[in-house]
Amino acid sequence: MKSPKNSRKTPIAATGMTRRALLAAGAAGLFAAAGAAPADAPLRRRAAARGMVYGACAGSYQLRDGEYAAALADEANALVPEYELKRSIVEPRPGVLDFSGADALVDFAGEHGMLMRGHTLVWYASNPPWLEQAALKAKDERIFTDYIAQVVGRYRGRIRSWDVVNEAILTSDGRADGLRDNFWLRRFGPGYIDTAFDAASRADPSAQLVYNDWGCEGSEPWNDDFRRATLRLLEGMRKRGVPMHAYGMQAHFRAFRKPVFPDAKKLRSFLAEVKDLGLRLMVSELDVDDAGGPSDDGRRDAIVADITARFLDPVMQSGICDAVLTWGLTDRYLRGKIIPTDLWAYLPRKLPLDARLRRKPMWHAIAKALG
Ligand code: XIL
CA of 38 to the centre of ligand 1 (A): 34
Q: Which atom of ligand 1 is nearest to the CA of 214?
A: 10
CA of 336 to the centre of ligand 1 (A): 14
Q: How confident is the model at residue 4 (pLDDT cuts 50, 70, 90)?
A: very low
Q: How confident is the model at residue 29 (pLDDT cuts 50, 70, 90)?
A: very low
Query: Is 82 a pocket residue for ligand 1 (Cβ < 6 Å)?
Result: yes
DSSP string covering 10-67, please? --TGGGT--HHHHHHHHHTTSS-S-SPPPTT--HHHHHHHTT-EEEEEE-GGGGGSHH
Residue nearest to atom 6 of ligand 1 (CA): 83
Q: To test ligand 1's pocket by mutation, which of 83, 326, 331, 334 has the most ligand atoms within 8 angstroms of CB?
A: 83
User: pLDDT tens-digit profile of 281-318?
Assistant: 999 999 999 988 888 899 999 999 999 999 999 999 99
Q: For the whole prediction, is pTM greater than 0.85?
A: yes
Percent of the chain with pLDDT over 70: 87
Q: Which atom of ligand 1 is nearest to the CA of 86?
A: 14
Residue nearest to atom 3 of ligand 1 (CA): 82
CB 223 within 8 A of CB 217: yes
